[in-house]
């Protein structure tokens, strides 16, 4: 493959729920190694696009290519095996299991034995700085710790593409700062990141490029500084 080929290509994808078109003719490329911000007002279709990329939904039109291969019809587990991991906007950790057990479940996606999955899970907890909470019951974590666990579960699958859905939303400024540092560290290891955020100010300093969704369509894309000045983007956010 040509190194300049995108790691992910979303090609003219549409998905409707009844009469509501959640994604309309969405086309975007993601380059290997970049941090891409996917922003837009509530209801713009950001989480739906993550669901299409990770295989929760199939589009009614268009294709999704990952590392050059058409994955449009592959089930979620196969996409995970190929290197796509995602977090959910509403954390989906197993509340009654402890933190280490939760991350071990993620690691089992690529480790054959329980022992090696557990070792990988411990490494992942180090990466997200949750080692001190390894034995804590997930349901008893604080909201920022739950976000970290959600990221750890995704990272433990060994992704090359990581989809983060509003992992910084609702954090205090200092928690958000720590979250930004964590995402930078992950990206520095060569993992391509797409970050969904609703609040522009949070993501813009972190991302290499931004794509703005509005009413299911791509409204603008480019460098963060360009996108925040775009008249259409400003109007879309003001109209919220």
181 binds, among Mg ion, ligand ADP, none (CB under 5 to 8 A by kind): none
Residue 46 or 86 with smaller CB distance to Mg ion: 46
Find out whether 136 and 99 touch, Cβ atoms under 8 Å.
yes
At closest approach, how far in Å is the CB of 62 from ligand ADP? 16
At closest approach, how far in Å is the CB of 197 from Mg ion? 10
By the 10 Å C-beta count (0-12 exposed, 13-18 middle, 19+ buried), 37 is classed as: buried
Determine which residue in the list 6, 37, 45, 59 makes contact with ligand ADP, applying CB under 6 A. 45
Residue 39 or 80 with smaller CB distance to Mg ion: 39
Q: Which residues bind Mg ion (CB under 5 A)?
A: 46-47, 89
The candidate with the shortest Cα–Cα distance to 128, out of 179, 166, 191, 164, is 179
By rule CB under 6 A, what string of x and - marks binding of each residue 11-30 to ligand ADP? ------x--x-x--------
106 binds ligand ADP (CB under 6 A): no
43 binds ligand ADP (CB under 6 A): yes
At closest approach, how far in Å is the CB of 60 from ligand ADP? 13
20 binds, among Mg ion, ligand ADP, none (CB under 5 to 8 A by kind): ligand ADP
44 binds, among ligand ADP, Mg ion, none (CB under 5 to 8 A by kind): ligand ADP
Residue 145 or 166 with smaller CB distance to ligand ADP: 166
Determine which residue in the list 8, 44, 100, 182 makes contact with ligand ADP, applying CB under 6 A. 44
Largest CA distance in the chain: 54
Please provide the DSSP assignment of 105-142 as one string.
Answer: HHHTTT-SSHHHHHHHHHHHHHHTT-GGGTTSBGGGS-
DSSP-assigned beta bridge partners for residue 212: 39, 220
The candidate with the shortest Cα–Cα distance to 86, out of 50, 52, 134, 36, is 50
CA distances from 170 to 68, 159, 187, 200 (A): 36, 25, 22, 13
| Token code pair at residue 51 | 């669901």
Residue 50 or 66 with smaller CB distance to ligand ADP: 50
CA distances from 85 to 99, 125, 152 (A): 18, 16, 10
Residues interacting with ligand ADP, by CB under 6 A?
Answer: 17, 20, 22, 40, 42-48
């Amino acid at each position: 493959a040509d190194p300049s080929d995108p790691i992910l290509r979303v090609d003219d994808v549409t998905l409707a729920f009844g009469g509501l078109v959640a994604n309309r003719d969405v086309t975007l490329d993601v380059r290997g190694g970049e941090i891409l911000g996917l922003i837009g007002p509530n209801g713009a279709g950001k989480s739906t696009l993550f669901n299409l990329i990770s295989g929760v939904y199939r589009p009614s039109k268009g294709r999704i290519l990952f590392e050059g291969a058409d994955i449009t019809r592959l089930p979620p587990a196969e996409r995970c095996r190929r290197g796509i991991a995602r977090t959910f906007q509403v954390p989906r950790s197993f509340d009654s299991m402890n933190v280490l057990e939760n991350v071990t479940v993620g690691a089992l996606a690529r480790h054959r034995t329980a022992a090696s999955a557990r070792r990988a899970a411990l490494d992942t907890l180090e990466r997200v700085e949750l080692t001190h909470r390894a034995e804590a019951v997930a349901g008893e974590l604080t909201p920022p710790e739950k976000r970290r666990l959600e990221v750890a579960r995704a990272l433990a699958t060994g992704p090359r593409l990581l989809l983060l859905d509003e992992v910084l939303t609702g954090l205090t400024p200092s928690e958000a700062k720590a979250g930004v540092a964590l995402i930078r560290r992950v990206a520095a290891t060569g993992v391509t990141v797409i970050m969904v955020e609703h609040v522009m100010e949070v993501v813009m300093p972190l991302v290499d490029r931004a794509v703005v969704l509005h009413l299911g369509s791509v409204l603008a894309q480019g460098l963060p500084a360009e996108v925040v000045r775009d008249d259409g983007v400003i109007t879309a956010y003001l109209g919220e």
